[in-house]
Structure 1
Amino acid sequence: MKLLIFTFSPVQGFIEKSRKLRDFFNSSYILSYLTEKLVEEMEKDSRFEVIYPQKPKNQFQKLIANYPNRIVAKIKGEVGENLCEDLKKKFSEIWKDIYTSVADKYLNLDDNVKETFEIHNKYYFQCFCHIQEQVNEQKWLEVLKLTSNNTGQKDDYGFTYDLAERMLGAKKTFRPYYGRYQNEQVDGCILCGERPALNLKLEKLKENIGEKNWKYHLDDSERLCGVCLTKRFFHLYLKEEKEKEKEKIRELLHFNSTRHFAWAPLLDYLENEKYENKEYSRELKEVLKEILKTDESLKLKNIDEIDPQEVERVSSEKCREKGKESLCNELKELTKAIKNPYFAILMADGDEMGKWLGIGQEKRGKELTEDFHKTFSLALTGFAQKVAELEDGIWIKFVYLGGDDVLAVMHPSKALQLAELLNNNFRCTLNEKLTDIKGEPTISAGVVIAHEKENLTFVLENLRRAEKRAKKEGRDRLCVSVIPHNGSPVELVLRWGEVYKLKRLINHFKSGKLSSRVPYSLGKEVEMLTEMEYADNLKEIAFSLIKRVLRRQSNLKDSELEELENDVKSTLCSAGDLKIGIQTLLNMFYIARFLAGLEV
């Protein structure tokens, strides 16, 4: 038995260099597509038995990127010396088919521009592959120059997999450099900033793509390199490849913008056909057609073309007219749906996944075997399938859902609910599939709430930081980051068992039982304490000051006030440092008030 591990990079850089959500989704889907196609090629060869990733028993109903950039396979029979090189070549062929199709069928590049385009793409991805001969305990000790094995591992599969991972890691430290650009001054790609932009003949491209669809694909001001152009036009390539899956492809061709998720309440408003009230349906219908640019069925043509100020202006004019009370109430509900244009984006990742498949047994409580590895892979696939069912088209959309990694975009009102569902599903699915395990499967997540016009690269940087902070502060946590429009991010890290505190505060602000001035008042009240040297009684003083503010600026019931005070006290006490505890509380109140304003 021989074990093969194949991976490729870059991944995070490829995804994060995105200007629009469509770029973000296309990037994730390209990575998944490359792995999927390579796995399909390997499954045609009887020598391979793919261990990871495991294909789902039932295909995903939605178009979701669900393959990781790593393949683990067992090799049976004789293996040629160039098997890894053959896989790398096959990977390159799959990638080449994508970017050459984009260049030839959709961009119609001139020969000199096409040459640069191909240079950008040809050497972008780097593949790493290692084939490990089966080793036993003794051989493993010899290779690693160890004198004893204190891991408890005896099965040869565990030693072989551990050694294969180590060897692959060593290979990944060597990364060759390919290509060199001519010594001339050129504009850089505005999306990635890593390669020069291509000099495209825009009029020719508009004619080829069609004037109607041109703006969706490429703004006139955008100057992109070969790799970013491939990402932007990938959906056209995929449309031809998967013509039989027209419904799924339609989702990809019209992947939602940030405004779609920020204005999900408006879309839901139209979907539920609230305009059918017979008393004023005709008049409301005409107004909606005017301000939302809808068709006869009141379906939005393009949500990005709606002007929020125009919506409010027309609504105000109608409300000033006499005898329009019913219409005015409906229009107020409509303008409320687009008043706070914020969207949320979530990133989740399983904790210490390497230890679950490592040579040590602190997570599994037993040896690493081939059967366990397969079961673990199936459990991750099952988790992804369960989570995929949470997507609804208007409020929540998954960008990536492979193994223990999740990326999703949604309306802010759904963010905490989705995060908790992910956590519960991850624990339940893995505990159900992995019997007799020692450790508890946990997941950490980051959520960022940002304005729909916020720079997506900046949002993604904060999302990555939020997830890392959840990991850094002990794992098994959620980090929520709010980026106010033209403001600095405010972060809050909570254990999963503490998320209820934030949700409870949101409900109090939403119901009006807590004054919107509470976060400001708390900051002024305890400001002096953060500048004092720590003393044992300072936490009690801080708690007393906070209680005074809550009692003055709330109309909570006694039982609700007692619950809230207990939440405050436990947060202060669980923080080792008073300053950290106070800042955590201030951030919690600020974020709760902010999210309450986005609730629907």
Structure 2
Amino acid sequence: MTDFTQKLRQFLHDPVDKCIEIENCVSRAQIYEKLLGVTDMEKAKYSDAIASNMEDFQNKSLFLFTIGPVQQFISQARKTQDLYMGSFLLSYLTFVGMTEIIDKYGPTNIIYPDLSAQPLMDWYLKKRFERKVKNSTSLFIDQPTIPNRFVALIQETGEKEIKELADKIKKNVRKKWKDIVETVLKEFNLNSIVEKQTEDFPEIYWVAVPFRNNDNDVTIEDFKDFFSDNVIDEWEKNTSENNIGLMYQLAYSALEKSIGIRKNLRNFKQTDEYGKKCHVCGGREGVIKAGVGNLKVGKYISKGEGLCVSCFIKRALDKFLEKEFDGKFQDFTFPSTAEVASASFKKKALKNAGDEFKSYIGEFKKIVGDSNFKQIIVKSLPCIENEFADTVNMDAEWFFEDNLTTRSVKKQFEIEKNESEVADLKKSLKKITDKIEKPDSYYAILLFDGDNMGKWLAGELLPDIEYANNSEIWNKLPQEFKNKLEKCRENKFLTPERHSFISHALRNYSIEFVRKIIEEEHLGKLVYSGGDDVLAFVNTEDLFDVLIKLRAAFSGNIRIENNKIKVDWSNDTGFVEKDGRLLLSMGKNATASCGVVIAHYKMPLGMVINRVRETEEKAKNNFGKDSFAILLLKRSGEERIAISKWRYEEIDVLEKLKELSYAFKEKKDESWVSDRIIYTLGKEFIRIKNKDGHYSSEEGIINAEIERIVKRASHGNNGTEGKETNRKVSEILKSIFWKVGNFDRFLNLIAVSAFIAKEE
């Protein structure tokens, strides 16, 4: 397989065996025509870009473009839809910025992120060429997978030409934002609302590093302003010539340093606003309220809520997106926190209490009326959405008995209902809960982040990405591709091609694995998945499984079996075989950290988002990365945080907690363990721990005490089955205890496992 064919296969996402047929094509245009049906020269310029040798970059510049603010803009959310739409908007506007490069030089001139089979890229190819890419991912256009920055190789090297290109990109992004604002405001007859609040968004920053200095190629000397003398001296010692990889690595490092400096010079514009502040961001005046224009209380505004223009655009972005993406976002809803928390309840209800479930929804609709009922019709989580094919799904908030009051009904629908009508609803709901347990009121939100990504992208850790020699997967790789990987091993310098390998591995993780894990195989909903960053809501019942798979998939320690992702720590080849394709992963040395918050669905979402970021930082700070932290926020105000490495040698901590969680579940005819064991462990072990939380007794004494406490806490079967349960629980507790090495951390891990099992 030729290098060009391999590039096309990666870009168009075709299985290896389906690409062999194009080997006999005599020109690049023919190959592209074979795959996409593109014939004219204007469209065929994309093939030139794909086939270009990216090592020939001396007459080019590295260009980095980013928009923001990211964390502030995304985390300013009262509803889950605010959070999601903020993420999608940044992802979409970043892609809009890329299109100037794509149209001018082709998609592979974008080095990061890899645009191969990106939903937005496939959608753009279809829109631009009126052709659908084979194996297109555009079906998932509603999932943000583009990060808020991109790195590209551009042809311009002169200051004037680079600035003109950057200005065009900025103009495109700001024009698109203006179109979005006008479209959304017009939809609600809000055109008269002042738009000055949108002028400072988005923040746009760009930097470029040319590989030409006037008429000469850049040298090490040209980068002295970016690095210390010691670093420059070290580079000069290790190379006798201006190696391609060295120049590229120096340029990329300088690029990252430059964007950091540029961001520190924040753009600032004074605004004079004195009215009541926006309920979401709290910064600008809340000028949009129910009753202004034709805006009514419902999906886009709550009673008494006031939003600034920017926050309202984020809330109602689907009004623009449904036009932009041909109805894909029509009647769009993002699951609420209540919906995520109760997903396991709904799944069981549909299976075991289907008639009662439909009956309850019918009675609710009858009481509140058709028009009011439409306000609360929502989509469920993707994993169970198909099960609602014959059943209308309403927001899970109304499946919690404590919300069934005349006051709640009046507040939501502005209608008066008597106590007897609400009592009838409670009786109807009880028919469901008599068959299955009540809905859980807690959900999980996770923030997953690859470790040391700056070093990976700068090339410092790249040699560890290729080590698939002598494996079954390695033997299946096309020879041209293996030659490229072998060439990358020759030195530690970052090259454009090596950089593209990283981008491709991150693309594979984000698109091929993350969505499948969270939305197809488990009860979760993605907010965004942009390379190494993942933000998602997960039902607590599936939390451990999701976390385990996300971490394993990031380093490629998985396999696909019966179309399901299985954790396989023995697969350290750096590749995963899926649907006839060999997918490059970050490799066995790549690590990641994750923060999780388990919170009550009624807790303010903005607060929970801020806490999940804090929790992720605590995971990294406590263990030097490659760890997780789970913060339990009880509605009573009590907090517990469980922090641990993902694995200790062969012990997978989350797998142990998952097994333990099953043992904590109360079962009628089986043995189980009371969660009172947490209190007992704390009481009995307080005598043997020191002020740092460590233990001071011998291993045998502690192990015997754990076994005794487990035996006292066990319930149910006292025979062989009960003894086996006690043995398993004791072994799990002992293995975690001796690996964690800190009693307080050990106890918090057990407490989180018990809470997920029983939920207080």
Mapped pair 1:20 → 2:185 = no
Q: Rate the CA distance shift 1:527–1:151 in 2: closer, same or farther, 3 A.
A: farther
CA distance in 2, matches of 1:107, 1:363: 57
Q: Which amino acid aligns with 2:339?
A: H
2:214 corresponds in structure 1 to none
2:123 corresponds in structure 1 to none
State the SS of the aligned residue for 1:73.
strand
State the SS of the aligned residue for 2:285.
coil
How many equivalent pairs are there?
562
2:434 corresponds in structure 1 to 332
1:50 corresponds in structure 2 to 110
Q: Which amino acid aligns with 2:604?
A: N
Kindly report which structure 2 residues correspond to 1:171-250, keeping only aligned pairs within 5 A, or say none.
171-181=262-272, 185-198=274-287, 200=288, 202-205=290-293, 208-209=294-295, 211=296, 214-242=297-325, 244=326, 246=327, 248-250=328-330
Query: Structure with the greater relative contact order (CA < 8 A, sep ≥ 6): 1 or 2?
Result: 1
State the SS of the aligned residue for 1:193.
coil
Q: Per-residue displacement from partner, 1:559-582 (whole Å, max 9, x unpaired)?
A: 544443344334333345xxxx11
Mapped pair 1:299 → 2:299 = no
Report if the CA contact (8 A) 2:681-2:709 is conserved: yes
Q: Per-residue displacement from partner, 1:189-221 (whole Å, max 9, x unpaired)?
A: 1211122222x463243xx24x5xx41110121
2:515 corresponds in structure 1 to 388
- The answer for unaligned runs of 5 or more in structure 1 is 276-280, 320-326
- The answer for unaligned runs of 5 or more in structure 2 is 1-59, 118-135, 212-217, 367-372, 378-388, 406-421, 465-488, 558-572, 576-581, 647-651, 716-720
- How far off is 1:361 after superposition? 4.8
1:323 corresponds in structure 2 to none
State the SS of the aligned residue for 2:299.
helix
Q: Per-residue displacement from partner, 1:91-133 (whole Å, max 9, x unpaired)?
A: 22222222232233325143xx41xxx2221113221111101
Q: Rate the CA distance shift 1:438–1:254 in 2: closer, same or farther, 3 A.
A: closer
Report if the CA contact (8 A) 2:653-2:736 is conserved: no
Kindly report which structure 2 residues correspond to 1:422-433, keeping only aligned pairs within 5 A, or say none.
422-428=550-556, 431-432=574-575
- How far off is 1:34 after superposition? 0.6
1:95 corresponds in structure 2 to 177
Q: Per-residue displacement from partner, 1:150-202 (whole Å, max 9, x unpaired)?
A: 896841221221111112221111112113215xx42121211122222x463
CA distance in 2, matches of 1:151, 1:353: 27
Q: Which amino acid aligns with 1:466?
A: T
CA distance in 1, matches of 2:609, 2:225: 44
2:630 corresponds in structure 1 to 480
What is the TM-score of this pair, normalised by structure 2? 0.68
Q: Which amino acid aligns with 2:655?
A: Y
Q: Rate the CA distance shift 1:315–1:332 in 2: closer, same or farther, 3 A.
A: farther
Equivalent residue in structure 2 for 1:584, among 745, 748, 753? 745
Q: Per-residue displacement from partner, 1:495-522 (whole Å, max 9, x unpaired)?
A: 2221122112101101452113111222
Q: Rate the CA distance shift 1:525–1:488 in 2: closer, same or farther, 3 A.
A: same
Report if the CA contact (8 A) 1:60-1:385 is conserved: no
CA distance in 2, matches of 1:20, 1:191: 9
State the SS of the aligned residue for 2:104.
coil
- How far off is 1:392 after superposition? 3.9
Q: Which amino acid aligns with 2:515?
A: A
Q: Which amino acid aligns with 1:289?
A: G
State the SS of the aligned residue for 1:399.
strand
- Percent identical: 26
Equivalent residue in structure 2 for 1:464, among 588, 600, 613? 613
Mapped pair 1:553 → 2:713 = yes
State the SS of the aligned residue for 1:45.
helix
2:757 corresponds in structure 1 to 596
Q: Rate the CA distance shift 1:271–1:547 in 2: closer, same or farther, 3 A.
A: closer
Report if the CA contact (8 A) 1:444-1:476 is conserved: yes
- How far off is 1:73 after superposition? 0.4
- How far off is 1:546 after superposition? 3.4
Q: Per-residue displacement from partner, 1:264-286 (whole Å, max 9, x unpaired)?
A: 134324544753xxxxx5x8854
Q: Rate the CA distance shift 1:233–1:394 in 2: closer, same or farther, 3 A.
A: farther
1:254 corresponds in structure 2 to 333
CA distance in 2, matches of 1:237, 1:97: 9
Farther-moved stretch of structure 1 (546-555 vs 464-473): 546-555
Kindly report which structure 2 residues correspond to 1:70-109, keeping only aligned pairs within 5 A, or say none.
70-77=149-156, 79=158, 80=161, 81-109=163-191
1:37 corresponds in structure 2 to 96
What is the TM-score of this pair, normalised by structure 1? 0.84
CA distance in 2, matches of 1:575, 1:190: 43
Q: Rate the CA distance shift 1:350–1:284 in 2: closer, same or farther, 3 A.
A: closer
Report if the CA contact (8 A) 1:480-1:491 is conserved: yes
CA distance in 1, matches of 2:264, 2:357: 64
CA distance in 1, matches of 2:189, 2:226: 52
CA distance in 2, matches of 1:393, 1:569: 31
Q: Which amino acid aligns with 2:73?
A: F
CA distance in 2, matches of 1:298, 1:359: 52
Report if the CA contact (8 A) 2:62-2:255 is conserved: yes
Supply the RMSD in Å over aligned alpha carbons.
3.3
- How far off is 1:33 after superposition? 0.8
Report if the CA contact (8 A) 1:346-1:415 is conserved: no
Q: Which amino acid aligns with 2:516?
A: E
Kindly report which structure 2 residues correspond to 1:347-496, keeping only aligned pairs within 5 A, or say none.
347-358=447-458, 360-361=460-461, 364=464, 366-386=492-512, 387-390=514-517, 391-392=519-520, 395-428=523-556, 431-432=574-575, 440-472=589-621, 473-496=623-646
CA distance in 1, matches of 2:702, 2:443: 34
- How far off is 1:400 after superposition? 0.2
CA distance in 1, matches of 2:428, 2:80: 35
CA distance in 1, matches of 2:170, 2:71: 20
CA distance in 2, matches of 1:420, 1:60: 28
1:148 corresponds in structure 2 to 234
CA distance in 2, matches of 1:127, 1:359: 26
